[in-house]
Each structure stands twice: as structure tokens, then as C-alpha cells.
């Protein structure tokens, strides 16, 4: 077995007076696909930064195999020292790295590389950081929430890209489907220490519950043992003094052990303050359209949303999800068509950007609306300290400005405020951002039990599958189509997932009529993209590798006794040969097309 590439052993770190890590460990070997899980504030990101050399631990051992490279994806990248995004990404390349990787990754992630870093949005900066991290193809990738600010096409592309890399990967994410598809082992950061399971994230929750159940049984046994020893102290027959003193010390040790035990971190208590019952019809849209200039955002869309429906809106970034949402809720007038809202609607909105949180307001002010120390929950009131506790806030955070809270804490504050308002229509724009997995579970249960209506924008496939009764999907060119069920049901009905807008543009270009004359064609300039140049370089090797694999499988298939010896092996070989042949033929065809384009570009 090969030695680990990276080892963190007995890591301790304290912030202020609060110990964060008290003996955490991490070991990364070649080919590892580790997911790092734990509650918000458990120290996952901190441990990743220690592994990347960005934070120094108070105590512990760190070993990196000599000559091995590590790349870390930060949640808040700093591009201020670079003139362009491409400069920032290529600065992460080392001598010998493929220079085409940087522009290729930027193009896939929706950037040109010419952007001024000072003008980037938070999402664009994150995508640039992702390109910089992936471009060198390092020995170890440390990825902290890589799907943040990515739309569904980009998330699914990233899954495929990471699966194809030889790098070992340590991954933090709130996206369940992403973790399930990529991880092969799980490291759980809990109460300052770490546990490791050699299975992927899909088995994590059952494992976690087993650990908590065993801890509870151990604590019950400890309590019974203390009770027996205390009974002996009070009523036991006096024996030799030395023996008695030993038992007194043992009892003191047992009591210390019971006092020092930290139970599982508390669970948020989510409950929506439901308003009066709305009418059966909530929203009726008839042939609504909206466009900006020549671009159609929504074209001739109709839908009838009834009380109790939970509708997911799905599309690539820029497809127009927010525009459609605003038209459905009456905030934006359509260019044509009509939207009719039902009777007695009480709407509450959760904004993904947290923009309607004043960073100078204290947490208590945000939750109470500035009305003293009580939170109004419909017809009831609750003290703000008690309500904060329901959402896992400490009492001392009541006077903390929300601007200094972490992303996860701001998400919980927004959620707490939204759920306090009486409603029968919830409009949730990316509600899963920055929430830990346990809080996501509770939010899913809350929305499933909510008697009102939910309009939901999300790129979280698992969340959509668990919550949505139907989804409205962008089909491109302003067309929106409704499908019954969640994301997986939509894929089954549609045949594929969400496509990026640039893919639509490429399809349009392919369908455009050819130039009328040879003269017109020769006058047009043909220029290969960075992606096409990269493929021209790599496709010959891809074809060769596929051919070698096929030759090896076909040699095994040539055994005349194979079917008699192992029908299962024969079937698997046949299927694999068919698959690889298709891949090779497609690669060869793409290679030939690109060669023709190259010849045309060269004159």
C-alpha cells in the first residue's frame, strides 16, 4: 500500500477561549475521494486551511510527501493583485503544466479571461478561483464548497471533471448529490475530533446515528456506575482505608468523565408561522412573455398553481428564473399575457443574496424587527433569546452585528426571520446556500409539512427531489416547460438535465444557414476556440488509449470457451466493448472535424 500523501495528526486549535479542534486527524492517499462533513462551525474549513498551510495549528503534526503539490479552493478568493482573470488563473500554473487548461476551464465556467477582477461578482470570482485550482491538476485538491454560485450545468460538468482527474480530493459541500456522486470515504468532524469511514457520503447519516446511539448507551452505563459507587460511599461497610480511598478517587474520575462529555451539537427547531388559508387558486399565468431587447426571457408561458403546490424553478444562470418568479408573484409586469393572483395571499420571501439584511443591525434587531425583546409568531410571542436558541445561536450573539456573522449564520438568521412572518405563500431563492446538512433536513421536512404554497429556486438536485411536487424548467429561447415531480423525475421525462445557455448558442450556430457563395465563405474568418485547440492536442492520445483498451478486451473475448466458463464475464465484456467502440468512434469523428476546421483557419 502506497504511503499517504498528506497526514494531519492530533491537530489542536483554539479561537479565543473556545477550543475548535481537539485532536482532529486527516490522512490523504493517492486516488482518495474524501468528503469532510460536520455541522456549521465544527472546524471543517479550518482543518482544510491547516492542510493547505494557510493556518498554523496550536499543536499537532503535519506531513506532506516531498515533491507533492496541493491546491486549495478558498470560499472568498482575492484577485486584487491581477490585471485580468486569465492572469490570475495562469499564475497558479507551474512549469510543465498544460497552458491550455487555464483558458479551457475559464471558457467552460462562463468566463473569457479578459475580465477585470475588480468588476467581478462574488460568483464570478468563485468560478475564477475554481479554474485556478483545477488548472495545474495537482496531487491533492482541497475544495471548500466548490458548487457555491454554480448553476446546475456547471455543477454537473464539475462532477464529470473531478471524476476524470487523477488528483486525490478532499471535499466540503452542502450539496448531497454532489457528495454522493464523488466521495468514496467520509471524514466526520464532530466536537473537535474526527472519525473516518471508508464509505461514501450516502452511508454517513446511518453511521452518524449509530455513533450517537452508542454514545447515549455509554452515558447511561456511566450514570448507573456512578450511582452504584455513590451508594457504596454512603452505605458500604468500611474496609481497608487504602482500598476505600482508591474507590473515592475512581468515583471522582467517573464524575469528571461524565461532566466532560460533550453531547451532539443541538439541532435547529424550524417551524413556519402559517397565515390564514389562501384560496384554492394561488397563481394563474396565461401566455405571459417577457424580453429585453432581442432576447426572449419568457415566451408564451402558462401555468396554474394551486394551494399546497411546491414548485421548483430550474435553469442555467441567466436563463431568467428570477424574472419568471417576479412575474408569477406580481412584482414584475409581463410584456404580454396576464397573471392572476389568488385571494387572501400572505407572501414571505427569502432572498439568496441576504441583501435585505442591514449589516449594522444586531441579530436581535433582525429577529424582532426592532420591537424590544420579543419575536411575534403569528398570534403568539416568544423571547428573542429562546427563538435564537431554536436556530442554534448563542445568547452572546444577540448584540452581534449581522455583518460579522458567517455565511451559514446569516442564512439561519434570514430563515429565522422569514419563518416568523405569517404566510401561506413562501418564495425561496436558493434557500440551501450555506446551510449545514442537518438544518437542510429540517427545512425539507418543514416545507413538506407546510400547508401553504412554495415557489423555490434551487440548484440543489437532492433538495428539489425531496421537496418539489413539480418543476418548471428553462428549455432555452424563452421557452419554459413544467414537469411533474422533482429534478430526477424531470430528467427521466426530458431525457437530460439542464443545459447551459452557451450550449444553446452553439446549437443555434450549427443550424444557421451556410454562406451563399464560396467567396462569402472565404471572406469569413474561422478561429478555433481555446477548447477546440485543447481537444486537438488531446484527442489523438484519447483515441489511442481507447484503441489499446479495446484490443485488450477483444483479445480476452476471443477465448472460445469464455461464454461456457463465465456467462456474466462474457456479457460484461460485450457491453464494455460496445461502449468503448462508441466512445472511440465519437472521438475520432470530433478529431477529424477539428482538423478540417484547423485547415480552414490556416487558409
- d(CA 431, CA 351) in angstroms, rounded, equals 8
pLDDT value for 65 = 93
Domain ranges across the chain = 6-205, 217-260, 307-335+344-502, 518-601
CA 545/CA 52 separation, integer angstroms: 34
The answer to whether 6-205 and 307-335+344-502 have equal CATH topology is yes
Question: What is the rounded average pLDDT of the residues 375-402?
Answer: 82
pLDDT at 512 exceeding the cut of 50 = no
**Sheet-wide strand order for 470-476:** 347-350, 425-429, 453-457, 310-314, 470-476, 479-484
Pairing outcome for strands 380-383 and 374-377: antiparallel
Confidence of residue 355 (pLDDT cuts 50, 70, 90): low
pLDDT band at 318; cut points 50, 70, 90: confident
pLDDT band of residue 13 (cuts 50, 70, 90) is very high
Instruction: Write out pLDDT tens, residues 75-109.
Output: 888 898 999 999 999 999 988 888 889 999 998 88
Considering only residues 42 and 517, tell me which one the structure prediction assigns the higher pLDDT.
Answer: 42
Do the Cβ atoms of 387 and 413 come closer than 8 Å? no
Helices of type H across 269-391: 321-328, 363-368, 384-390
Q: Smallest Cα–Cα separation from 533: which of 598, 593, 602? A: 598
Q: b vs e for 166-202, b when ≥16 Cβ sit within 10 Å of the residue's Cβ?
A: ebbbbbbbbbbbbbebbbebbbbbbbbbbeebeebbe
User: Quick one: fold of 307-335+344-502?
Assistant: Rossmann fold (3.40.50)
525 forms bridges with which residues in the sheet? Answer: none
CA angle 123, 135, 189 (to 5 degrees): 65
For 446-475, what is each residue's pLDDT tens digit? 888 888 999 999 888 998 998 999 999 998
Which phi and psi angles does 250 have, rounded to 5°? -65, -40
Beta strands in 373-505 (DSSP E): 374-377, 380-383, 425-429, 453-457, 470-476, 479-484
Q: What is the mean pLDDT of residues 303-315?
A: 92
**Residue 6: predicted pLDDT:** 95
Q: Taking a C-beta distance cutoff of 8 angstroms, is the pair 89, 102 a contact? A: yes
How far the first Cα of the chain sits from its last, in Å, is 54
Q: pLDDT at residue 501 above 50?
A: no
Region 467-485 average pLDDT: 91
* Arithmetic mean of pLDDT, 61-83: 91
Indicate if the pLDDT at residue 4 is higher than 80: yes
Q: Is the pTM of this model over 0.85?
A: no
Q: How far is CA 532 from CA 298, 503, 508, 525, in A?
A: 32, 14, 18, 16
The pLDDT score that the predictor gives to residue 300 is: 94
What is the spatial distance between Cα 88 and Cα 114, in angstroms, rounded to a whole number? 11
pLDDT of residue 290: 92
CATH classification of 518-601 is 1.10.1060.10, yes or no?
no
* CA dihedral (406, 408, 414, 416) positive or negative: negative
Binding site, by residue number, is 38-45, 315-322
pLDDT at 540 (0 to 100):
83
Instruction: Inform me whether the pLDDT recorded for 238 exceeds 60.
Output: no
The annotated binding site for ATP is made up of: 38-45, 315-322
Give residue 184's pLDDT band: very low, low, confident or very high (50, 70, 90): very high
* CATH superfamily of domain region 6-205: P-loop containing nucleotide triphosphate hydrolases (3.40.50.300)
Q: What is the pLDDT of residues 217-227, one digit of tens each?
A: 877 777 777 67
Residue 266 has a pLDDT of 55
Are the C-beta atoms of 376 and 436 separated by less than 8 Å? no
- Within 261-379, residue ranges assigned H as helices are 321-328, 363-368
User: Coil, helix or strand for 426?
Assistant: strand
Assign 3-class secondary structure to 203-221: HHHHHHHHHHHHHHHHHHH
Angle at 46 between CA 45 and CA 47, to 5 degrees: 90
Q: Does 139 score more than 90 pLDDT?
A: yes
Rounded Cα–Cα distance for residues 331 and 348 (Å) = 13
Residues in CB range of 598: below 8 A, 6 or more apart: 528, 536
* Lowest model confidence (mean pLDDT) among 197-206, 281-290, 523-532: 523-532
Amino acid at each position: 500500500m502506497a504511503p499517504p500523501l498528506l497526514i494531519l495528526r492530533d491537530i489542536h486549535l483554539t479561537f479565543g477561549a473556545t477550543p475548535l479542534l481537539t485532536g482532529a486527524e486527516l490522512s490523504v492517499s493517492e486516488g482518495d475521494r474524501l468528503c469532510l462533513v460536520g455541522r456549521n462551525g465544527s472546524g471543517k474549513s479550518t482543518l482544510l486551511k491547516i492542510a493547505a498551510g494557510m493556518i498554523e495549528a496550536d499543536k499537532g503534526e503535519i506531513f506532506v510527501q516531498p515533491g507533492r503539490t496541493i491546491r486549495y479552493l478558498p470560499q472568498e478568493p482575492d484577485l486584487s493583485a491581477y490585471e485580468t482573470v486569465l492572469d490570475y488563473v495562469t499564475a497558479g500554473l507551474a512549469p510543465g503544466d498544460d497552458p491550455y487548461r487555464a483558458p479551457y476551464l475559464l471558457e467552460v465556467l462562463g468566463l473569457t479571461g479578459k475580465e477585470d477582477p475588480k468588476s467581478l461578482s462574488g460568483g464570478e470570482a468563485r468560478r475564477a478561483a475554481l479554474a485556478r485550482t483545477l488548472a495545474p491538476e495537482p496531487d491533492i485538491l482541497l475544495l471548500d464548497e466548490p458548487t457555491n454560485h454554480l448553476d446546475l450545468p456547471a455543477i454537473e460538468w464539475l462532477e464529470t471533471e473531478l471524476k476524470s482527474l487523477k488528483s486525490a480530493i478532499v471535499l466540503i459541500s452542502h450539496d448531497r448529490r454532489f457528495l454522493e456522486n464523488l466521495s468514496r470515504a467520509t471524514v466526520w468532524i464532530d466536537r473537535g475530533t474526527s472519525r473516518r469511514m471508508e464509505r461514501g457520503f450516502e452511508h454517513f447519516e446511518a453511521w452518524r446515528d449509530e455513533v450517537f446511539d452508542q454514545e447515549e448507551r455509554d452515558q447511561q452505563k456511566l450514570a448507573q456506575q456512578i450511582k452504584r459507587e455513590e451508594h457504596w460511599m454512603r452505605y458500604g461497610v468500611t474496609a481497608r482505608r487504602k482500598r476505600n480511598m482508591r474507590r473515592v478517587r475512581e468515583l471522582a474520575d467517573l464524575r469528571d468523565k461524565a461532566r466532560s462529555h460533550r453531547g451532539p451539537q443541538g439541532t435547529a427547531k424550524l417551524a413556519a408561522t402559517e397565515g390564514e388559508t389562501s384560496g384554492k387558486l394561488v397563481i394563474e399565468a396565461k401566455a405571459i412573455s417577457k424580453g429585453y431587447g432581442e432576447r426572449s426571457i419568457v415566451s408564451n408561458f402558462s401555468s396554474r398553481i394551486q394551494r399546497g403546490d411546491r414548485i421548483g424553478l430550474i435553469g442555467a444562470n441567466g436563463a431568467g428564473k428570477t424574472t419568471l418568479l417576479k412575474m408569477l408573484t406580481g412584482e414584475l409586469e409581463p410584456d404580454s399575457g396576464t397573471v392572476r393572483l389568488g385571494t387572501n395571499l400572505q407572501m414571505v420571501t427569502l432572498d439568496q443574496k441576504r441583501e435585505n439584511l442591514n449589516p449594522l443591525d444586531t441579530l436581535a434587531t433582525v429577529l424582532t424587527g426592532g420591537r424590544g425583546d420579543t419575536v411575534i409568531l403569528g398570534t403568539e410571542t416568544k423571547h428573542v433569546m429562546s427563538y435564537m436558541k431554536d436556530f442554534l445561536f448563542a445568547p452572546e450573539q444577540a448584540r452581534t452585528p449581522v455583518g460579522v456573522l458567517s455565511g451559514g449564520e446569516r442564512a439561519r438568521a434570514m430563515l429565522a426571520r422569514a419563518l416568523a412572518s405569517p404566510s401561506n405563500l413562501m418564495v425561496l431563492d436558493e434557500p440551501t446556500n450555506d446551510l449545514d446538512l442537518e438544518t437542510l433536513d429540517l427545512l425539507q421536512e418543514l416545507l413538506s409539512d407546510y400547508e401553504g404554497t412554495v415557489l423555490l429556486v434551487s440548484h440543489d438536485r437532492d433538495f428539489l427531489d425531496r421537496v418539489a411536487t413539480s418543476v418548471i424548467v428553462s428549455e432555452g429561447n424563452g421557452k419554459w416547460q413544467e414537469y411533474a415531480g422533482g429534478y430526477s423525475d424531470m430528467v427521466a421525462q426530458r431525457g437530460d438535465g439542464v443545459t447551459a445557455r452557451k450550449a444553446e448558442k452553439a446549437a443555434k450556430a450549427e443550424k444557421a444557414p451556410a454562406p451563399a457563395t464560396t467567396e462569402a465563405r472565404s471572406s469569413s474568418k474561422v478561429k478555433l476556440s481555446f477548447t477546440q485547440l485543447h481537444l486537438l492536442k488531446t484527442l489523438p492520445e484519447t483515441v489511442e488509449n481507447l484503441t489499446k483498451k479495446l484490443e485488450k478486451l477483444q483479445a480476452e473475448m476471443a477465448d472460445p470457451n469464455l461464454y461456457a466458463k463465465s456467462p456474466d464475464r462474457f456479457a460484461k465484456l460485450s457491453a464494455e466493448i460496445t461502449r468503448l467502440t462508441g466512445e472511440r468512434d465519437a472521438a475520432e469523428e470530433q478529431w477529424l472535424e477539428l482538423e478540417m476546421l484547423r485547415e480552414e483557419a490556416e487558409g
